[in-house]
Amino acid sequence: METTFDHVMIRVEDLDESLDWYKTHLNYEEKGRWEADTFTNVFLGPETVHDDGALLELTYNHDGRSYELGDGWGHIAVRVPEDALQESYDQLMAEGVDDYRDPESCGNRYAFVKDPDGHEIEIVKRDHGAMWSLDHTMIRVEDADEALGYWSRKFEYDEVSRWEADTFANYFVEPAGAPEEAMSLELTYNYDGRTYTMGDAWGHVAIAVDDLDAAWAQLMEREAPDYRDPESCNNRYAFTKDQDGHEVELVTSD
């Protein structure tokens, strides 16, 4: 199955405020928009995002609802040059972004800020990919073996790196042969056996496929959960879920 991560969707309570935040602080531009009767989806990314780079999808529901973040949802991570972590963080602070976890508190290896809805954004040092482009998305899983097996068996993804600490482990998975500018998925597993709540502010990760029907049929053969099949989505996209209930959207790559 030939795939790549296409986008990450999060829900926001004030679309104008969120758009202004991402455009002002991360220099994102609008790449696409879908206006429906009850909601709006806006796709954002850097001007020079790689062809295989992932976008950020902001979903705004018109009924004024509020959301819970939950703790199954972790964060998105954005790239800055290797020598620009502190400078980039200082710039965000000067622009009025909330001080959440500065570089020093993270061993000068990364840093964190939050957007207007409390979504965490990690800043990571990378000498590839556009400035502020999506590097990875982190979700929490309750069984690392099961989670790694899901992404390996269902999507043929490889474990490309891991970091094992005293109390947790991070596993990074991505399609075989993915360019370094593409997004990875980070699976975080805590050793203490905790459980998680999804919350409804967290939406999904989306995977681009060449043939939606063929990809869906293959997932069904591999016993992926049948959540929303292509026909129920007007043959424009489809949804399955991982072992923890994180939603995974399939979209066509054209």
Report the C-alpha gap between 89 and 97 in whole angstroms.
Answer: 9
Side by side, the strands of the sheet bearing 29-35 are 29-35, 39-45, 55-61, 3-11, 202-209, 247-252, 237-241
Reading the block at residue 240, the tokens are 């399955």
Kindly give, in sequence order, each residue whose CB lies less than 8 Å from that of residue 69, ignoring residues fewer than 6 positions away. Answer: 117, 118, 119, 199, 201, 202
Q: How many helices (H) and strands (E) does the chain have?
A: 4, 14
Report the C-alpha gap between 108 and 73 in whole angstroms.
Answer: 24
Torsion of CA 191, 246, 77, 116, to 10 degrees: -110
Reading the block at residue 127, the tokens are 């000498």
Catalytic annotation on 122?
Answer: yes
Query: Which DSSP helix (H) or strand (E) runs through 59?
Result: strand 55-61
| Closest to 249 measured CA to CA, from 185, 203, 188, 200 | 203
| Choice among 95, 104, 120, 122 that is catalytic | 122
Long-range contacts from 161-169, C-beta under 8 angstroms, 24+ separation: 167/191, 167/192, 169/144
Give me the active site residues, please: 122
